[in-house]
Amino acid sequence: MKAYGVTGYRFSLSWSRIIPLGGAEDPVNEAGIAFYNRLIDELLANGITPFVTLFHWDTPQALEDRYGGMLNKEKYTPDFVRYARVCFERFGDRVKNWITYNEPGVYTLAGYAAGVHAPSRSSYRERNAEGDSSTEPFIVGHTELVSHGYVCDMYKKEFQPKQKGHIMITLHGNWSEPYDENDPRDQEAAERAREFEIAWFADPIYGSGDYPASMRAQLGDRLPTFTEEEKRLVKGSSEFYGMNSYSAFFIQHRDGEPDINDHRGNVVVHDKNVNGVDRGPESDTYWLRTTPWGWAKLLRWIWKRYQTPIFITENGTTAKGEHDWKPKGPDDVLEDPHRIDFFKSYLTEIAKASQEGVIIKSYFGWTFTDNWEWAAGYTDRFGVTWVDFENPEKPRYAKRSAYFLKDFFGHLIKQ
């Protein structure tokens, strides 16, 4: 990392590594605490600022078994609050940048709507034995928002005065562009898609303090209701806007009543618009295209709607052909022009938006090394470091993009 010019490293804690059984009364695993202490200390010793995420899609299994995990807001929330407290107590003297949840919407939709990630619940019985895609995603999303609010409140009252750190949440969201920019129905559908994907979590935290009206109109009572206490805790809880984004899609209005399991806002998603224009060059990941035009619009949309400083906490791409690469020696570098083009075009749009007054406080490329990408396993190589997964030692080799980022930031940032 130091050779790459990295000044900040974002990583996620594993709840079950710190409290294996997860609960508020369960014992802390000191070996897990020691592991993260070594990591934090090593980063700081090398001038790298740690950004620490509390939850990255791994509820301890014991909590799923005891009460259904996030489906039970009343039992889950005190367990998450206690876990966060342990982290603030043990690491907060050195960690000054906290993130409560990573992409709560993706965790919710993948785990409870599509059922392709843990805990593998959905209405699709050919895929999952249990679950209800029409209700559970919104119940779980509500639990995440409320528990996030409680943790932020605790941090600000009990830890921030002494530790002088900051706390936020990181939300996912790709740009939704009208399929036909001249059709008012597609314009409305694209905005609705952005609200279902992004404002679902962002409006209660940074905006109105409640869910978007477009969601309530479609979902009715299937969308939970905040109590006044929950609204107070959630609204304004995150000090900054944590932003994870990768691509853009064309969105078309859909006639007829929405499917009961719909979570997109009753729209049709396309790779090309009405004129046959493609959204961007393909990566090695089916949904991810290079779309700096959409990234530019999304930065401005978030800033205009929420007026909150933005921390870009994830952005990056896979590239075709990297699985077959064979290093010629220990210092060989993988040439990855596709990723370099991606970074250059997206960072250029950040620079433009910054010059217009959009406040952007960080940029974290996803990711440092090729790693385990959930359901895709080792098949999606997002890293700027190539890992030889076939070798038991897992040797690592730099990709050219790692050094490009260092040089390009040197070009962009005023000293």
Catalytic residues: 103, 314
Are the CB atoms for 219 and 260 separated by under 8 Å? no
CA–CA dist 62, 118 (Å, integer): 13
Taking the C-alpha atoms of residue 376 and residue 112, their distance in angstroms, rounded to an integer, is: 18
Q: Which of 54, 56, 22, 60 is nearest to 36 (CA)?
A: 54
Q: Which of 21, 17, 43, 41 is nearest to 30 (CA)?
A: 17
Distance CA 194, CA 187 (A): 11
Whether the CB-CB separation of 15 and 28 falls below 8 Å is answered with no
Strand partners, 360: 310
What whole-number distance in Å separates Cα of residue 342 and Cα of residue 360?
A: 18
Distance CA 351, CA 96 (A): 26
* Distance, CA of 211 to CA of 205 (rounded, Å): 10
Identify the helix (H) or strand (E) that includes residue 150: helix 136-154
Q: How far apart are CA 142 and CA 146, in angstroms?
A: 6
Structural element, H or E, at residue 196: none
User: Hunting for tokens 């050219």 — which residue is that?
Assistant: 400
Q: Are 112 and 131 in contact (CB under 8 A)?
A: yes
Residue 401's CB is within 10 A of a number of other CB atoms, namely 28
- Dist CA 380 CA 369 (whole Å): 11
Which structure tokens are listed for 228?
A: 């006044």
Amino acid at 342: F
Contact 353, 300 (CB under 8 A): yes
> Which of 202, 208, 297, 206 lies closest to 247, judged by CA?
297
Q: From the CB of residue 314, how many other CB atoms can be counted at a distance below 10 Å?
A: 20
